[in-house]
Every structure is written in C-alpha cells, then in structure tokens.
Amino acid sequence: METSNAEILRQLARPLEPIPTGQAAVLQPLCGVRAVMFDVYGTLFVSDSGDVGTTRQELCRQAFSAAMEALGIPSDGIAARGVQYLADAIQESHQRSRSQGIDHPEVDIVDVWRQVVAKLATSGCLNGGGWDERRLGRLAVEYECRVNPVWPMPGLRPCLAALAEKGLALGVVSNAQFYTPLLFPALLGQAAESLGLASDLQFYSYRTGHAKPGLVLHRMAAEALGRRGIRPADAVYVGNDMLNDVYPAAQLGFRTALFAGDARSLRLHQGDPRLDGLAPDLVLNDLGELIGCV
C-alpha cells in the first residue's frame, strides 16, 4: 500500500521543544471575544527551519538528496543543482505574481517542484517521465520534512479543547502549503476540524496565491467570521510574527496576541516603520496563557 503524505510527515517527525525567549508576558482579560484565529508555523507547531548561510545551504542539499532517494531516485551530483533550481523557481513564481499586482505572493509548491524536475530532466540529470501530481507532492513533502521539521507546540491540544469548551469559534490564517493541514492528523492524530478548528475558518496561503503580511487572508477570515455574526473586534488573532501576524490582523480590526513561546520563530521586526506604535493586546509565552484571557 502506498504511504500517504500524512504518514510520511508522521514518520519523519521528531519531538522538538520550544526555546524560551525571555519575552515578558502581557496578559489581561479581553472582554467580548467570540473567536480565536491562529497562525500555524511557530505558533501551533514548533518550527525548526534551520540555520542561515552555508549551514542552511548544506541542509537543503542533504534534504534534496534524501527526498530523491526516498522516491528511489539516485541523487549523486544533482543536489546542489536541484536546490538552486528550486530557489530559482520560487523566485520566478514570485516575480510573475508581482507583475500581476500581487504584492505578497504565495507559490504552488507542487508546480514549483514540477519546474525543478523539468529542468533536471532537460539537463540530463533525471528521467522526466512519470512525474504526476501525486509523485511531485510526495517529493515536496519528503523535502519539507527535512528542511522544516515541526512538532506540536506544548499545550496545543488542551488549549484548543479549553477554547472550544468556552464556545469560541476557532480557525487558522497561515502562510502554508498543501501539506500544512496534514500536520494535524499526522502529529495529533485528528483532523483540524476534530480539534475544534472550523472548516469555514481555515485560510491557507497556497489556496489563494496570497501570503501574509498582505491583507487578503485576514480579510477572508473577517468575511467568514462576519457570516457567523462575529466582528473582527470580537476575535483574537494569535501569531509569532509582528509583521506577518499582528500587523495585518490589527489593520483589519482584530485584537491580537503575539506568541513569544519559541526563540526559533519569534519575529519582532524591530525598526520596521509599519510597526510604529503597534502593540499586541497580549504577549503569550505559552498557549495555555491564552485560556484565561478570553
């Protein structure tokens, strides 16, 4: 039987503990909250995307080789070229989208890998046949698991359960790819919906071609909440990035919580003029701290 992408995510995952940031928590009761929306990477899941510079490049080459070999493809001598083709394809996709007026574009990672395989085949490094959507998706997952290991943030399951018990609507607004929703069944044993995250309140960038900090995803979330009779002012958005998360949410009237629970992923963007005068309503060092604030 063919291994599913969720099973690959499960098999390649390893426990990760968050690294304390030393950020001072800001906790206060927020009255009238009826919904909580979350970022995924660095908020609901510990995300270890690796170091930068030459260490990162070597990690990517190793991940490329391992991903190819997992599909039964010899990778001798093609990893460096493949990683470069991958970076080029992402950059070219972003440029095309920006030329069409999308300020903060998101790629279709399967299409990106399709271009990588085509270039490797054209250069004689790879057999270009047999690369259907399923196989390209498998390659994307094998690579992603190695360059961006993830693990559920401590307290994730009880946090969602406690918020759902309060009768709050729960959802997601995240920069993501097709494998992101699979993290829930892969690492928590349940689909996101079974954990309380409503299907009509999940917004992932790969589905729209628009990424944060653009306002498209949060605007869609605001409209979906509106159909439930919930205003942005009655919702809290929780994320680990002041620019990608707090800024767009605040622009649309959401209340905001900066998740400062892991030094790997906390992004303050100090000095960015877009953040002048902007402060989140809450600063959380643990997901459980949210429960007593809403």
Sort strands 150-152 and 45-47 into parallel, antiparallel or unpaired. Answer: antiparallel
Which of helix, strand or coil describes residue 259? Answer: strand
Contact (Cβ atoms closer than 8 angstroms) between residue 287 and residue 159? yes
Q: How confident is the model at residue 223 (pLDDT cuts 50, 70, 90)?
A: very high
Position 55 pLDDT exceeds 80: no
Q: Residue 5: what pLDDT?
A: 97
Position 1 pLDDT exceeds 60: no
Q: Residue 54: what pLDDT?
A: 67
Give the closest residue to 254 by CA, choosing from 285, 283, 222. Answer: 222
Q: Which pLDDT tens digit goes with each residue over 84-100?
A: 999 999 999 999 999 99
Q: How confident is the model at residue 16 (pLDDT cuts 50, 70, 90)?
A: very high
Q: Residue 209: what pLDDT?
A: 97
Q: What global pTM score does this model have?
A: 0.95
Q: Average the pLDDT over each of 47-51, 186-190, 246-250 and give the range with the smallest value.
A: 47-51
Q: Rounded to whole angstroms, how far apart are CA atoms 232 and 220?
A: 11
Average pLDDT along the chain = 95
**Element housing 170 (H / E):** strand 169-174
Q: Average the pLDDT over each of 66-75, 120-129, 208-217, 223-232 and give the range with the smallest value.
A: 120-129
Q: Average the pLDDT over each of 72-86, 165-179, 220-234, 262-276 and give the range with the smallest value.
A: 72-86
35-38 sheet: strands from edge to edge: 197-204, 169-174, 35-38, 235-239, 255-259, 282-284
Sort strands 282-284 and 35-38 into parallel, antiparallel or unpaired. Answer: unpaired
Position 63 pLDDT exceeds 80: yes
